[in-house]
Amino acid sequence: MNLLLPAPLLIPLLCAILSLLGRRAVGVQRFLAVSGCCLNLVVSACLLYVVDNEGIQVMQAGSWPAPFGISLVVDRLSAIMLTLSGLMGATVAVFSLAAMDQSRQEFGFYFFYHTLLMGVNGSFLTGDLFNLYVWFEVMLMSSFALMSLGSERAQLEGGIKYVALNVLSTAFFLAALGVLYGMTGTLNMAHLATIVRSAGEQGMLTTVSLLFMVAFGIKSAAFPLFFWLPASYHTPPTPVSAIFAGLLTKVGVYALIRLFTLVFVQDAEFTHRILLVASGLTMLTGVLGAAAQMEMRRILSFHIVSQVGYMIMGLGLFTPLALAGSVFYIIHHVIVKTNLFLVAGVIAFRTGTNELKALGGFVRAMPWLALLFLIPAMSLAGLPPLSGFFAKLMLIVASFRESSWVIAVTALAVGFLTLYSMTKIWNEVFWKPMPAAIDEAIAQRLWTIRERVCLFGPVMALAACTVLIGFCVEPVFALSERTAGQLLDPDEYIRAVLTGSVRP
Partner 1 sequence: MTEVFLSLAIGVLYAAGLYLMMCRNIAKFIIGLGLIGHGANLLIFTAAGLSTQRAPIVPPGVTIPVVPIVDPLPQALILTAIVIGFGLMAFVLALFLSAHEVEGTDDLEKMRSTDQ
Select from 10, 14, 175, 441 the one that contacts partner 1 (CB under 8 A): 175
**Least gap, CB of 317 to partner 1 (angstroms):** 32
Select from 171, 288, 291, 409 the one that contacts partner 1 (CB under 8 A): 171
Q: Is 58 helix (H, G, I), strand (E, B) or coil?
A: strand
**Side-chain-facing half-sphere of 236: CA atoms under 13 Å:** 27
Burial bucket for residue 501 (CB in 10 Å: 0-12, 13-18, 19+) = exposed
Q: In 3D, which of 311, 304, 324 has the Cα closest to residue 418?
A: 304
In 100-243, where does DSSP find H-type helix? 102-106, 109-125, 129-148, 153-184, 189-198, 202-219, 228-232, 238-243
164 binds partner 1 (CB under 8 A): yes
Please identify, among the stretches 75-83, 169-177, 238-246, 344-352, the one whose residues bind partner 1 according to the rule CB under 8 A.
Answer: 169-177
20 binds partner 1 (CB under 8 A): no
**Least gap, CB of 498 to partner 1 (angstroms):** 18
CA gap 133, 5 in Å, rounded:
20
**What are 60's strand-pairing partners?**
71
Q: Which residues contact 192 (CB under 8 A, 6 or more apart)?
A: 129, 180, 184, 186, 262, 263
Please, which residue, 148 or 261, has the CB nearer to partner 1? 148
Contacts with partner 1 in 205-244 (CB under 8 A)?
Answer: 231-232, 234-235
Please, which residue, 161 or 273, has the CB nearer to partner 1? 161
Please, which residue, 7 or 140, has the CB nearer to partner 1? 140
Please, which residue, 44 or 184, has the CB nearer to partner 1? 184
**Least gap, CB of 173 to partner 1 (angstroms):** 9
Please, which residue, 67 or 382, has the CB nearer to partner 1? 67
Select from 11, 70, 98, 177 the one that contacts partner 1 (CB under 8 A): 177
Select from 28, 174, 214, 383 the one that contacts partner 1 (CB under 8 A): 174
**Least gap, CB of 493 to partner 1 (angstroms):** 23
442 binds partner 1 (CB under 8 A): no
Handedness of CA 76, 79, 80, 81 (dihedral sign): positive
267 binds partner 1 (CB under 8 A): no
- DSSP-assigned letter for residue 74: E
Q: Is 143 helix (H, G, I), strand (E, B) or coil?
A: helix
Please, which residue, 191 or 350, has the CB nearer to partner 1? 191
Task: Tell me the three-class secondary structure of 384-432, residue by residue.
Answer: CCCHHHHHHHHHHHHHHHCCCHHHHHHHHHHHHHHHHHHHHHHHHHHHC
Q: Are 375 and 269 in contact (CB under 8 A)?
A: no
Which whole-number Å values give the CA distances from 435 to 243, 279, 328, 348, 431, in the listed order?
30, 40, 40, 15, 12
- Number of residues lying near partner 1 (CB under 8 A): 38
- DSSP-assigned letter for residue 236: S
**What are 126's strand-pairing partners?**
72
Please, which residue, 185 or 224, has the CB nearer to partner 1? 185
61 binds partner 1 (CB under 8 A): no
**Least gap, CB of 68 to partner 1 (angstroms):** 9
Query: How many C-beta atoms lie closer than 10 Å to residue 498's C-beta?
Result: 18
**Least gap, CB of 307 to partner 1 (angstroms):** 21
Please, which residue, 168 or 383, has the CB nearer to partner 1? 168
Calculate the CA 294 to chain-centre distance. Answer: 24
Select from 1, 21, 25, 167 the one that contacts partner 1 (CB under 8 A): 167
Which secondary-structure segment (H or E) carries 73?
A: strand 71-74
Please, which residue, 44 or 235, has the CB nearer to partner 1? 235
**Least gap, CB of 345 to partner 1 (angstroms):** 18
Contacts with partner 1 in 99-158 (CB under 8 A)?
Answer: 130, 133-134, 137, 140-141, 144-145, 148, 151, 153-154, 156-158
Cis peptide before 237 (omega within 30 of 0): no
**Least gap, CB of 84 to partner 1 (angstroms):** 26
Residues forming the site for partner 1 (CB under 8 A): 130, 133-134, 137, 140-141, 144-145, 148, 151, 153-154, 156-161, 163-164, 167-168, 170-171, 174-175, 177-179, 181-183, 185, 187, 231-232, 234-235
